[in-house]
Amino acid sequence: MNSLASTFSPSITSMIRMDHTHVLSTFHQYKIGSSPSAKQALVRTACLGLEIHAQLEEEIFYPAMRAAAPDNHILDKSVPEHDEMRRLIAELRDMEPTDPAYDQTFMELMRDVIHHVADEETTLLPEAERIMPERLSELGAQMTKRRLELAAPHAGELAMNSFQAASASTMLFAAGALLAGSYLVKRAFSRQT
pLDDT reading at 7 higher than 70: no
Nearest to 125 by CA among 2, 3, 18: 18
pLDDT reading at 121 higher than 80: yes
Where do the structural domains in the chain lie, given as residue ranges?
3-167
pLDDT reading at 81 higher than 50: yes
Q: Which value, in Å, is the radius of gyration of the alpha carbons in the chain?
A: 20
Helix residue ranges, H only, 120-153: 125-131, 136-151
pLDDT reading at 92 higher than 50: yes
Q: What distance in Å separates the CA atoms of residue 44 and residue 22, rounded to the nearest whole number?
A: 13
CB-CB contact of 50 with 23 (8 Å): yes
Q: What distance in Å separates the CA atoms of residue 148 and residue 61, rounded to the nearest whole number?
A: 16
